[in-house]
Amino acid sequence: FLYIIDILGTFSFAVAGAFSAMEKKLDPFGVLVLSFVTAIGGGTIRDMLIGNLPVAWLTNETATIVIFASAIAAMFFSRYLKQLTTTLFLFDALGLGLFTIIGLEMGLSKDFSPGICIALGTITACFGGVIRDVLLNNVPLRRVTPHTDPARLPELCDSILCDFESRVEKPVHRLHRLV
């Protein structure tokens, strides 16, 4: 089930990265690069921090194919998708939620403390977008905190709840909220 979540998150962030690159009028190669960076940036940093080498996308060619196909599809259908102003926000929010779960699960599988698990979930979910924004020279309009950005609050709550559930005597499956 985590594999499906990983693929959906990769797709979501690849499309979000492609949209951001197209908004800045990058050429097709730039769109592909930004799709890759957005989709794999957070997971790459997480894997390097916890010593999970080689990083996940180097051993999973499916991720590369999904990113490439997502970026190409976003470029071909950009005329139609640009009319949907909520589309970028939707893909970005979906990727945040899905990658938070992946990062949290990685921490839980290594028996890290709750704070570290939450940090890994946040790093996995956010840092691809941070790298994308740095490369595009985008400055956020406001500070991103659970108080000011509604897309981040569910991510933080999900990390905390999943960690709590994993530590009770009879843990409920951590991914039950997605089913």
pLDDT in tens, 76-125: 988 877 776 676 677 778 778 888 988 999 999 999 998 899 999 999 99
Q: Is the pLDDT of residue 27 over 90?
A: yes
Q: Is the pLDDT of residue 169 over 50?
A: no
pLDDT tier for residue 170 given thresholds of 50, 70 and 90: very low
Say yes or no to pLDDT of 179 above 90: no
> What's the pTM value of the predicted model, to 2 decimals?
0.75
49 has pLDDT over 90: yes
* Residue 179 neighbours by CB distance under 10 Å: 6
The predicted structure's pLDDT at residue 152? 56
- Distances in Å between the Cα of 119 and the Cα atoms of 67, 100, 159 are 25, 9, 9
> Mean pLDDT over residues 128-143, rounded?
81
- Written as six digits, the tokens of 22 are 């197209």
**Span 52-65, average pLDDT:** 92
- Three-state DSSP at 85 gives coil
Do 61 and 68 meet the contact criterion of CB atoms below 8 Å apart? no
pLDDT of residue 64: 94
> What is the distance between the alpha carbons of residues 90 and 93, in angstroms, rounded to a whole number?
5
Question: How many other β-carbons are positioned within 10 Å of the β-carbon of residue 121?
Answer: 30
**Residue 133: Cβ within 10 Å count:** 14
Please answer whether residues 133 and 19 qualify as being in contact, where contact means their C-beta atoms are separated by less than 8 angstroms.
Answer: no
How does DSSP classify residue 171?
P
Q: Is 3 exposed, middle or buried (0-12, 13-18, 19+ CB in 10 A)?
A: exposed
The beta-strand segments (E) located in 22-151 are none
Over 50: is that where the pLDDT of 171 sits? no
